[in-house]
Amino acid sequence: MEPLLKHLIYRRNGLNKVFCDASLEGYHEFDDIDDPSDNFIPTHDPFSLDPFFDPNVNQNVTALVGKSAYLNCVVKNLGNKTVSWIRHRDLHILTVSTYTYTTDLRFQTTHHRTTDEWTLQIKWVQKRDAGSYDCQVSSQPIKSYSVDLNVIVPTAFILGGPEYYISKGSTINLTCIVKFSPDAPSHTFWHFKDKVLSFETEPRLSQFTENGETFTNYLLIRDVNVKDTGKYACAPSNAEPAFIMVHVVSGENPEAYSSSSKLSSCCSPYTIFSLTLSLHLLCNRTYSLFRAKIHFKYHSKIANLVELRNEPMLSVENVVN
């Protein structure tokens, strides 16, 4: 059986000398001259037998509501000590070693022996799970490594809010967008004056969805009248409701009622796109005309100068005659 390594470290005349009695034949000596330009400061004595944490492990974790979160800490030289995960806000012990110590079975710890990694898994993350968690080693004194968990909650909002002005007889298009959601909502309800809109009994109503990086739900109301004025709410199954106040006004110029309703009163997102494109083309056309005008003036001046240069000089005799 190989004998145990015996380490002796001391500093003399600017040299770090390490003697390792690693075999029965004697010892080996290694010299390492200090480099004054080396600014590295070790966070732990590599020859110490005390447990220590790997400082390179991520201490900021982000998770989506409803998904799993994984918080890691790496403990070296653990020996016969134990690792516990503790919730910082109430000092509640969640796990000890790989045993779950809380009645909330969403929490569990796994140990990867090859990497000395201890991973706290939180299943079906909720908004209230956000905060700091401490990975603790049962040493004397106790050592801790803190990891912060940020929880992203799906958010819904309605374009053109909070006030929406539209002319009587037009078509309302309310666009509800859900961001930061891992999955599409299973359903989306629209409310008007705290009542759920029924698409079966009201033929003027229609609804359709669009899924991509964000999840979009459109509510269309045709031939609106003053009775359609009021507060509307978009209520996705996976996010808090979003609200908008709709005003149906008489006349063909609803923009006059609110300076912020110029975009919200458009019949569809395609109208907004068309207006933006028209403005872009108009700017390009104006810029081209301006360059042509400058170009024309410049060449006119050059032509005048050439003409003056080519005219014959008037002599005194010509002036007398």
What pLDDT is attached to residue 116?
92
In which region does residue 91 sit, left (phi positive, over 0), alpha (psi from -120 to 50) or beta (all else)? left
Could you give the CA distance from residue 266 to residue 172 in angstroms, rounded to a whole number? 8
Tokens 């359609």 found at: 228
What pLDDT is attached to residue 258?
55
Note the pLDDT tens digit of each residue in 256-311: 555 444 444 444 454 454 455 556 556 665 555 555 555 555 555 544 544 444 44
The CATH class given to the 52-152 domain equals mainly beta
Could you give the CA distance from residue 207 to residue 174 in angstroms, rounded to a whole number? 10
Torsional sign, CA 120, 184, 197, 227: positive
**Residue type, position 264, single letter:** S
Note the pLDDT tens digit of each residue in 119-151: 999 999 999 999 999 999 999 899 999 999 999
What pLDDT is attached to residue 44?
53
CB-based burial of residue 181 (10 Å sphere; 0-12 exposed, 13-18 middle, 19+ buried)? Answer: buried
What pLDDT is attached to residue 197?
92
Note the pLDDT tens digit of each residue in 16-43: 333 333 333 333 333 443 444 444 444 5
What pLDDT is attached to residue 184?
87
What pLDDT is attached to residue 26?
38
Query: For 18-22, 162-166, 184-188, which range has the lowest pLDDT when averaged over its residues?
Result: 18-22
> Region 66-93: what's the mean pLDDT?
93
> Region 99-116: what's the mean pLDDT?
92
pLDDT score of 315 more than 50: no
What pLDDT is attached to residue 129?
96
Torsional sign, CA 89, 59, 124, 126: positive
Intrachain domains 52-152 and 155-267 with the same fold? yes
Task: For residue 51, say if its preceding peptide bond is cis, omega within 30 degrees of 0.
Answer: no
What pLDDT is attached to residue 9?
33
Could you give the CA distance from residue 67 to residue 64 in angstroms, rounded to a whole number? 6
Percentage helix, strand, coil for the chain under 3-state DSSP, each rounded to 5: 20, 40, 40
Does the domain at 155-267 match CATH 2.60.40.10? Answer given as yes
Could you give the CA distance from residue 39 to residue 101 in angstroms, rounded to a whole number? 43
- 141 phi/psi in degrees, rounded to 5: -75, 170
Domain ranges in the chain?
Answer: 1-41, 52-152, 155-267
